[in-house]
Structure 1
């Protein structure tokens, strides 16, 4: 094709004749559209090549790449297959297909991963950060080793991984007892010594890690070579490049033993020997924006989790300018020797009104909060345990003015703001306290103070009164704030806590004085002999209040006991608490990747939970690196996930199309768009992101529509791949679905707890998944309708529809003729009880008749959870929802089968509610812990412990079961007595909806 003729594309969609040279020696010629992508053209090549000779010699399309001569007369490889041919603009209309070789395969993989995770891998390299580079290298090795292990699985296990069954959870076979069986099979372990070419195969009991393994290895080496130190504490085990003590069973069977003395440079001083105050220099600021006539001040605080280690230090005031100069030494009231390993330095930059007389009664501290500008956090030690030295430019995060919060934000990220060109900066300098590096002492130094611990703790004389007081503190599950005498008692009796109240570990950790190295070391030493916590109790220890690496390592050791189903149940929270980690390489990240690469379903949801927040600047780097590692460990999953990602892109395009249209936009316009070949292809034949066990085969354009609500959700229907009904999903663009996800997760957890107690309340925790910035998918619950529609269709006007008590029962009768009606009413009764309790406990707001639905089988369920934890909607300052939960007389009418004197049925309903509530109260701390772990998510109605107080009150934490039930009965009667207010609210909602333009 002559060069000038390529300009034909600008005349419209006129096709262009292209030549294709195949590596088999075959020449193809056919027309393409200027808007065709490289990917779609490659598909056409394979389609046309099927009828040609040597087609069988062609491999998978991904193994090849097109090359062309571009407009600058250079040979170009077209790696990015999403480009259109009109964007490529080859000099001649010729594309050559060549096989990928060597780094070409790597380039393809990198391109695919970049497109999939929404972040170019070159951004990681551009960081020029040693921690990033080491983490990438280590995680790549770890994940690729996992992939190789997976390929070595027996065929049955490989099939179970590759094609997981979506089965109902079932009970595992009973254990034979806690005592180890004499017939327990031993496993062979390969142990290699550092700086030694020899390795040994040891036969070891799986339960004997780690000390027994270390002793066996040292004994073996001593007999073969020479006498060596026999103390296991003098050595460490290396697993996949990570130096650590191995707690409990470890899935890997290859270990490397290293002399601890080789781990750190020899010319270092002990950090614990430096009894000098810790200090830094604040040099200057940059890009500071504040009003003239104000002064700039910086606050600096040292934190360990949520605990302030010493007094906050405040700088002098300087005049407002873009680059304010402080050049001031900030000395903290804590010695270098007492700095805990996870010391976090938090800064707040704010402006104050230039000295003017304050009105009487004005608190001094209010002056400091005049105008918060920015905050930033950084660690005192680097990722290699070394005390930081030298200058650091900290790119800050903008402060959100809030009278309820302090200026310092210790819960915030330690990542710098990546928007360095616009964010305010603080230049600080860590001093060179000694001429050589200072490291935090390794774990084996814990034994130095062991004798002190025995003297002050284990050997302490305990009185009967002290034991009774301790029991009182431990029995109160809601007791997390302590008086000084209680703290002293807990610390004195710490071994009693370990031996008799081991599940209350968090209380002991909270009162530990981490700013005293003796106490910190004794706590770490005590933790090494602590019994494992049940996994659901261990979750609490992932909060930012417990940052110590020994604590977090212990926590992960406990979480290893979670089954895959249990891990999936808590995966949302585990992803959120990654935001509290101070370094990229941490036990939680390794644990999640390990489990994701061992269970395809866990990998699927881990991917989407991370991918949905890749746009968040504070976690973009961390989440991007974990996503890259997962993709490298499961190359085959990339293709499936990319297909889902492509489909979501088309769904967003459909949503934008509908939103951009005029009010005359119809469902037919949407259907016409979906029928385009590019949309049909992208939206068909993919695994559902909501449930990867479901294949969305062929989209049925005729059944698709958009909904008449503010965000115009797209309703997509798929033809079944089996004899089942059609599958429906709703794509929502413009709403943050993470709160809905959290609420539905809690409803699912409630249902699981009830079922364990033999109570099946027929809940419908439908699928919901956030897939990106304010967008995601919701499962369509088939054969269901809203109460509003049912009432509206049975009445002549919206004003009277909400008061028609027969509407629901008549609708159920029409859907369930004859003997089916009793079962439908039972389903309604059970599910209504479940949702009454669930919505009360979670404080679900905005409960109108358009977000309560009923299935034709009788199951009632709630949708749209935009408000929870008691954040009820208000109109003109008036609370529109004045009942604890929704229990209207038309609900009671159905429960009583339409008979007003059928009190037996209603009392049974009341018993269901009370029984369900008592079960939740017994598991109250689990719900509190899970909500607490979600503080990092940034949900508007869940940002602090204060927001969780509603949950503690509704679950009556700290009260007896009798007191809790008494309180619930009062709420139950109130909901029934005041239900007329709900009906008025529903009527107003229906009228407002009908009058909407």
Structure 2
């Protein structure tokens, strides 16, 4: 896409080849109603511009009514469509990034709270007015609670000494000696951060409650079943696969008798449209509904009757659910699927049922109980989703979000009515009200991996021996939870009582309990209590997954959200990555509101961090503007080498502009907040020759002894899969080191920062295998077969003892990456995706294909080896001596030891990938994808059997290494031609 209007000032300020003028035209709107258009210096500060405006305004009518210049400030509409107050008047115009070059002069009469709201809205990329406008009581209640918690936190900060505050925010980076040195230099006394909130926004919300547990006891076993009565209509419009549907949810009961709502035509949303040429007459439409707890179907799904019509579909049919109201679990969700029934019509998305085909139209989910534990009542309009995941059972999508589609204009609207059950809310009972309601084979079951299914007999056995499980297999809690009859309130009550005495799990084991299969509130609270034992470093290791499982939380205010906010606000490094993990996905409709609320809460409790993060956001915006400019230039000047050089010069000219250099300098690196990017080295910057034209940005870094530091900015590529793979590599490195095996892994930094954009760390003093081979031969086709090239390159970089150390580094790292790439099924391993540092460390980059998704051409797999182990690698490992079997034997032993260590942690890897299932990664969409890990780690087999399998793969990689060489030759030739 061409640069957006939001980047117009950046382009004007940056690209001197497009315009050599030193001024830009800005429209000024005065509070007196006067409009002034004038040219101002593009590099001028806001304060300077205000002086120029004041001089010009003195010649216009009503100037006397303006008053003092200091009592006014500028306001603009920024790139996020948010009103931003330009309080910092030292900023330059080219750094402000207004949507249009229009500045409004306003009196400085807004309070501190309003100014803070403006900053937060700008920072998170979503105006708080959007949250203010949401007519959702849950959103309002969550924000009120977070206001109160943030205010209490800031009051505690007020009471800290400056040293206490410094240690609480920066303890991971400061040692005692550093603190003592700072204490001598800084002033005596207390450093206080004071925060005030507008008290008008804080209010108490009181709810009356109906004792649901009393009704459950009265109704008992004879409780009539839950029913769903459809009394609605559909106006079909198959071209857009959306329609308006009405439904009524009701429970039949006889003690006391509550009448069903009268049969009436339900409310509906009419969607203008036409039938088009899909069919001569509209197809019949049905609605399927199911009750789920996690992925467990609580009872048989119910289906409405078929409804046909040319312009609308109407039905009046009762759907019965074979479950008593008192047996509904707290986290039960009602899942709907809307579909057309087409007789003998073949459609790509259709599913065959008898002689008919069901064509999915839309799906939507909703909780049966709201966030307060109240049984839902009244009208609910659920705007559906039209994107169906693959392989859905019954076309219902229980793992999908319970949030409705925010894009209501083009979404199917499902109207549901929950009738009043009582004059008071029906509340799910608290724990203290329900807790009074009342092995060799087991060991084998408990040791299975998380992907293993339990049969009904095994579930019954586990539940019967639940107290034995607590005593002997406490880590087996997930399997016990899968054995609970969630449709029986007696089992739920006993489980909740058992949780109170269950031993604490290790944080790593507790992670599994946050999976979608365990939605129970008490279970998730128990899991979070276990996570509180995590160190900050360990929490940072798993933060990526913990952010993703927020998607599984049906309510905004939950134990996991509070835990993440609490830890983030007490450790700035955790807060930094929590901010970016949330902000990078805020564009996704399903989590937009949820992640915005958490970001707002974090900012309010971490006010000193706002300016630091804001600087990073502004720097990334500048890089995006440069990237868009390059894309325009390279598209326009395709296949013209001279013009391409001009495009690079335009990039460097852009980066030399004062507005760019100031924004891009002296900021904390988003990749690592402990690193300060001091000054950009423009002459060493460039863009890379791939489709999305990534920027290669080089910094001079004073803190690294004058060494340069490189980062790659990508715009147009989804880096989240790379980020996940590198996180797992980092974890493997940690597990190996815990077992006293250091395989010299290089898990470089990678961070997604927005919609298909992010940063990658440049590893210093490293070259690709392709470049090393190509420099040794003038013929690209022959380069891949030169087994001496890699060893000779290491000899050039190292001599004497340094060469021996480099070869040992190569041997260890090659073993680590052979095992890691095999276990993770990393594909597309050509010679440009494997690099070597001058110190000998080998490492892999670019993880676009994982979990066995290997590339193929003309139906033939291009990669036919389980991992890369070529003869030139072995040549280095054996120090260039063919008969050096001892060195090769050591290498093979490293590989086997590393593999067995990963096997012992197989459940952890499966859990981490399972927690990422809803992230939307292209090669991680279902449990079937994770099955690859189970197979590669040979879970379910003994160590001897697994080691035998790995040795076979090792020999296969060695035997078939010539195919790798052929692939590398083809890659080198293709790359050389391009």
TM-score grouping bracket, smaller chain normalisation: 0.7 to 0.9
Aligned residue in 1 for 2:413: 425
Aligned residue in 2 for 1:171: none
| Structure 1 counterpart of 2:155, from 129, 134, 148 | 148
Shift of 1:133: 0.3
Displacement over 6 Å in runs of 4+: 9-12, 15-21, 43-49, 240-243
Give the Cα separation in 1 of the matches to 2:569 and 2:103: 41
Give the Cα separation in 1 of the matches to 2:738 and 2:174: 17
SS in 2 for 1:692: coil
The unaligned stretches of length 5 or more in structure 2 are: 1-12, 14-18, 31-36, 55-69, 78-82, 89-95, 176-201, 239-277
Shift of 1:751: 0.5
Aligned residue in 2 for 1:41: 46
Shift of 1:681: 1.7
| Structure 2 counterpart of 1:587, from 559, 569, 585 | 559
Shift of 1:241: 12
Give the Cα separation in 2 of the matches to 1:772 and 1:322: 42
| Structure 1 counterpart of 2:669, from 688, 700, 725 | 688
Shift of 1:317: 1.3
Do the aligned residues in 2 keep the contact of 1:376 with 1:397 (CA within 8 Å)? Answer: yes
The change in CA–CA distance for 1:263 and 1:493 in structure 2 (over 3 A counts) is: farther
Note if 1:87 corresponds to 2:101: yes
CA offset digits 1:712-754 (Å, max 9, x no partner): 1100001112324111100011111010000000000011111
Aligned residue in 2 for 1:780: 762
Shift of 1:283: 3.7
Aligned residue in 2 for 1:566: 538
Do the aligned residues in 2 keep the contact of 1:535 with 1:559 (CA within 8 Å)? Answer: yes
SS in 1 for 2:556: coil
Do the aligned residues in 1 keep the contact of 2:26 with 2:101 (CA within 8 Å)? Answer: no
Give the Cα separation in 1 of the matches to 2:85 and 2:537: 42
SS in 2 for 1:912: helix
Note if 1:599 corresponds to 2:588: no
Do the aligned residues in 2 keep the contact of 1:311 with 1:333 (CA within 8 Å)? Answer: yes
Shift of 1:683: 1.1
CA offset digits 1:545-604 (Å, max 9, x no partner): 111111011111111000000000000000000000011110000000000001000000
The unaligned stretches of length 5 or more in structure 1 are: 1-8, 22-30, 50-62, 71-75, 169-239, 244-257, 453-466
Aligned residue in 1 for 2:849: 867
Shift of 1:796: 1.0
Shift of 1:144: 2.8
Give the Cα separation in 2 of the matches to 1:64 and 1:630: 31
Shift of 1:298: 1.0
Task: Summarize the alignment of residues 262-277 of structure 1 with structure 2, pairs less than 5 Å apart.
Answer: 264-265=209-210, 270-274=215-219, 275-277=223-225
SS in 1 for 2:399: coil
Note if 1:338 corresponds to 2:327: yes
CA offset digits 1:744-798 (Å, max 9, x no partner): 0000001111111111111100000000000000000011110001101111111
Shift of 1:105: 1.7
Give the Cα separation in 2 of the matches to 1:513 and 1:426: 30
Aligned residue in 2 for 1:855: 837
Aligned residue in 1 for 2:724: 742
Shift of 1:365: 2.7
The change in CA–CA distance for 1:598 and 1:272 in structure 2 (over 3 A counts) is: farther
Do the aligned residues in 2 keep the contact of 1:116 with 1:645 (CA within 8 Å)? Answer: yes
Do the aligned residues in 1 keep the contact of 2:780 with 2:973 (CA within 8 Å)? Answer: yes
Shift of 1:308: 0.2
> What RMSD, in angstroms, separates the aligned Cα atoms of the two structures?
3.3
| Structure 1 counterpart of 2:433, from 427, 431, 445 | 445
Do the aligned residues in 1 keep the contact of 2:819 with 2:898 (CA within 8 Å)? Answer: yes
Shift of 1:138: 0.2
Aligned residue in 1 for 2:274: none
TM-score, normalised to structure 1's length?
A: 0.80
Task: Summarize the alignment of residues 253-264 of structure 1 with structure 2, pairs less than 5 Å apart.
Answer: 264=209
Shift of 1:811: 0.6
Give the Cα separation in 1 of the matches to 2:26 and 2:400: 57
| Structure 1 counterpart of 2:801, from 814, 819, 839 | 819
Give the Cα separation in 2 of the matches to 1:310 and 1:843: 38
Give the Cα separation in 2 of the matches to 1:385 and 1:559: 25
Do the aligned residues in 2 keep the contact of 1:285 with 1:424 (CA within 8 Å)? Answer: no
Matched residues, number: 846
The change in CA–CA distance for 1:413 and 1:107 in structure 2 (over 3 A counts) is: same
Aligned residue in 2 for 1:394: 382
Do the aligned residues in 2 keep the contact of 1:35 with 1:84 (CA within 8 Å)? Answer: no
Aligned residue in 1 for 2:744: 762
Deviates more, 1:469-478 or 1:575-584: 469-478
Task: Summarize the alignment of residues 556-955 of structure 1 with structure 2, pairs less than 5 Å apart.
Answer: 556-661=528-633, 662-663=637-638, 664-666=643-645, 667-722=648-703, 723-955=705-937
SS in 2 for 1:731: strand
| Structure 1 counterpart of 2:230, from 282, 294, 315 | 282
Do the aligned residues in 1 keep the contact of 2:24 with 2:41 (CA within 8 Å)? Answer: no
SS in 1 for 2:673: strand
The change in CA–CA distance for 1:166 and 1:831 in structure 2 (over 3 A counts) is: farther
Do the aligned residues in 1 keep the contact of 2:342 with 2:357 (CA within 8 Å)? Answer: no
Give the Cα separation in 2 of the matches to 1:283 and 1:639: 54
Give the Cα separation in 2 of the matches to 1:556 and 1:85: 42
Do the aligned residues in 1 keep the contact of 2:212 with 2:428 (CA within 8 Å)? Answer: no
Give the Cα separation in 1 of the matches to 2:868 and 2:970: 16
Task: Summarize the alignment of residues 272-311 of structure 1 with structure 2, pairs less than 5 Å apart.
Answer: 272-274=217-219, 275-284=223-232, 288-290=236-238, 291-292=278-279, 293=281, 294-311=283-300
Do the aligned residues in 2 keep the contact of 1:281 with 1:428 (CA within 8 Å)? Answer: no
CA offset digits 1:878-923 (Å, max 9, x no partner): 1111101000000000111111111111111111111111111111
Give the Cα separation in 1 of the matches to 2:560 and 2:48: 41
TM-score, normalised to structure 2's length?
A: 0.82
SS in 1 for 2:668: strand
Note if 1:535 corresponds to 2:523: no
The change in CA–CA distance for 1:568 and 1:65 in structure 2 (over 3 A counts) is: farther
Do the aligned residues in 1 keep the contact of 2:212 with 2:429 (CA within 8 Å)? Answer: no
Note if 1:325 corresponds to 2:319: no
The change in CA–CA distance for 1:341 and 1:86 in structure 2 (over 3 A counts) is: closer
Do the aligned residues in 2 keep the contact of 1:282 with 1:426 (CA within 8 Å)? Answer: no
